[in-house]
């Protein structure tokens, strides 16, 4: 059984009333990254390929390609041409015991020729997770825009998550 949005909100910080939906909580965009070097996934471990944070910038007017707004303003737009990008969510999520977390894209991404790919989030996971944003047509996305929805479902499990991504991106 899936939990209510209010229940999910108890396991997400920070969260605003606007983010709470009937069956989940919207997650917002904190940063966009591009991978530049190959990674490795083997039987005895993994290595994430080198990646760089994309800079936010405008796309119109004189010098548009040269303007960098930095990373301090919540609504600086990311201009993303077609390609694959790693997105980091702004919220810290804690998947409670007896539950499993699923991240789904908001429909506005799909309606703009984008798709968000994610993985299962096991009971016990805590962190600011990431997803793979596939962009099929140019788009601008502002920091703090709602891009995904976390839903929690009751689940039996043996043990809790204790992997290498535990506590990821938590300052």
What integer pLDDT is reported at residue 61 of this predicted model?
40
Q: List the strands of the sheet with 92-94, edge to edge.
A: 12-13, 92-94, 126-127
The strand pairing partners of 163, in sequence order, are: none
Q: What's the confidence (pLDDT) of residue 71? A: 45
Return the pLDDT at 43.
95
**pLDDT score for 171:** 75
pLDDT score recorded for residue 44: 92
Query: What pTM was computed for the model?
Result: 0.86
Average pLDDT of adjacent 10-residue blocks, the chain of 171 residues: 97 98 97 95 93 75 42 69 97 97 96 96 96 97 96 93 88 75
pLDDT at 75: 55
The string of DSSP codes covering 67-131 is ----S--TTPEEEE-SEEEEEEESSEEEPPTTEEEEEEE-HHHHTTTEEEE---B-TT-EE--EE
**What pLDDT score does 59 carry?**
54
Supply the pLDDT for residue 29. 96
Domains within the chain, CATH numbers bracketed: 5-37+48-59+69-154 (2.70.40.10)
CA distance 171 to 49: 21
């Amino acid at each position: 059984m899936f939990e209510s949005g209010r229940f999910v909100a108890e396991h997400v910080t920070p969260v605003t009333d606007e983010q709470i939906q009937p069956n989940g909580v919207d997650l917002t965009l904190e940063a966009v990254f591009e991978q530049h070097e190959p990674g490795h996934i083997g039987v005895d471990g993994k290595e994430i390929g080198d990646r760089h944070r994309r800079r936010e910038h405008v796309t119109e007017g004189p010098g548009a390609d040269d303007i960098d707004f930095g990373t301090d303003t919540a609504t600086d737009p990311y201009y993303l041409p077609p390609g694959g990008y790693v997105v980091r969510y702004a919220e810290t999520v804690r998947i409670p015991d007896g539950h499993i977390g699923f991240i789904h894209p908001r429909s506005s991404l799909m309606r703009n020729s984008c798709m968000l790919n994610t993985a299962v989030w096991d009971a016990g996971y805590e962190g600011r997770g990431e997803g793979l944003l596939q962009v099929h047509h140019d788009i601008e996305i502002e920091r703090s825009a709602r891009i995904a929805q976390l839903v929690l479902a009751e689940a039996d499990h043996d043990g809790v998550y204790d992997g290498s991504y535990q506590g990821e991106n938590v300052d």
